[in-house]
Amino acid sequence: MTTRSAIAEGKQPLALSWINVAFFGTVHALAMLAPWCFSWSALGITIFLHWLFGSIGICLGYHRLLTHRSLHVPKWLEYAIATLGALAIQGGPIFWVATHRLHHAHTEDEDKDPYSSRRGFWWSHMLWIFYPRPEFFDKETYKKFAPDLDRDPFYRWLDRNFLLLQIPVAVLLYALGGWSFVVYGVFLRAVLLWHTTWLINSAAHLRGYRHFQLHDNSRNLWWAALLTYGEGWHNNHHAHPNVAKAGLSWWEVDMTWWAIKVLQTLGLAKKVNVSS
């Protein structure tokens, strides 16, 4: 929506956040140092942390566990997994859960869905972060959509301080492998994980096939599913958001579901929802 049309409809015009642009631009710029810092071990760190913070932290923790409560784990394990999600630098748990619940409640509504794909590919991919709307980014507002988490002191602390957690991660990586590990394990990993996660908001609402004819345009996109450990089976997920398994057909590889099955086998995951 243009500023002129927004004013005409009595809506607050979108404002570019130069702080967000500077932050994401700086991280992307530092990630571009990767060719000069390459080592196979550094690349291995990137792949491992992309999986740990992405599949376990975001997909299992923030998404299937905290947002949809499609399984239950002991509170100590829930906190640990949520902390891994915070290390992905995709916002604190209250913010992430609130915006995703709004996405499901008002899928593709241009005003109520924070990253509505009807506003275009780049809006749903990343511009919604560069033009932050107060109803989605002001804590006093978004916390209303995740009251279960907002009641928990640990999640309130994690929501405020998730960025600071990158400091001990960077220190540990530097101790293990110097600046090469920092560039690959913090900056390159963050950029790759951002864009693979954002593909679910953007590409998976534009391309792919559908098992379920829903009112939204969610799609199953195989290559996005491989990059996001199963989240790309997005049409399946929108049809049954509270089901712990996203890949329903045998060929729909869902690595996050494999992790849930391991936790279930160990007796750590209970009440795993496998049917809508």
pLDDT in tens, 164-182: 999 999 999 999 999 999 9
Does 9 have pLDDT greater than 50? Answer: no
Tally Cβ neighbours within 10 Å of residue 118: 14
DSSP annotation of 252: S
Q: What is the mean pLDDT of residues 36-46?
A: 98
196 lies in which domain range?
3-265
Residue 260 CA to residue 61 CA, distance in Å, equals: 10
Question: Cβ-count burial of 58 within 10 angstroms (0-12 exposed, 13-18 middle, 19+ buried)?
Answer: buried
Q: What is the mean pLDDT of residues 75-93?
A: 98
DSSP H helices, 106-221, are: 121-122, 128-130, 134-137, 139-142, 147-150, 153-161, 166-182, 189-201
Does 69 have pLDDT greater than 90? Answer: yes
Query: What percentage of the chain reaches a pLDDT higher than 70?
Result: 95
- Report pLDDT for 275: 79
Q: Looking at the domain assignment, is residue 10 inside a domain?
A: yes
Q: Are 16 and 132 in contact (CB under 8 A)?
A: no
Helix (H, G, I), strand (E, B) or coil at 17: coil
Tally Cβ neighbours within 10 Å of residue 139: 15
Q: Looking at the domain assignment, is residue 271 inside a domain?
A: no
User: pLDDT for 190-244, tens place per residue?
Assistant: 999 999 999 999 999 999 999 999 999 999 999 999 999 999 999 999 999 999 9
What is the total count of domains within the chain?
A: 1
Q: Looking at the domain assignment, is residue 273 inside a domain?
A: no
Q: Looking at the domain assignment, is residue 35 inside a domain?
A: yes
- Report pLDDT for 6: 44
Q: What is the mean pLDDT of the chain?
A: 94
Q: What is the mean pLDDT of residues 1-14?
A: 50
- Report pLDDT for 5: 40
Residue 231 CA to residue 64 CA, distance in Å, equals: 10
Q: Looking at the domain assignment, is residue 168 inside a domain?
A: yes
The identity of residue 63, as a single letter, is H
pLDDT band at 13 (very low <50, low <70, confident <90, very high): confident
Query: What percentage of the chain reaches a pLDDT higher than 90?
Result: 94
- Report pLDDT for 157: 98
Q: Are 60 and 201 in contact (CB under 8 A)?
A: no
Report pTM.
0.93
- Report pLDDT for 113: 96
Block residue for tokens 């500077």: 22
- Report pLDDT for 11: 62
- Report pLDDT for 276: 62
Does 144 have pLDDT greater than 60? Answer: yes
- Report pLDDT for 3: 37
Per the DSSP assignment, residues forming a β-bridge with 270 are: 72
Q: Looking at the domain assignment, is residue 47 inside a domain?
A: yes
Q: Looking at the domain assignment, is residue 270 inside a domain?
A: no
Q: In terms of Cα–Cα distance, which of 137, 125, 126 is closest to 201?
A: 125
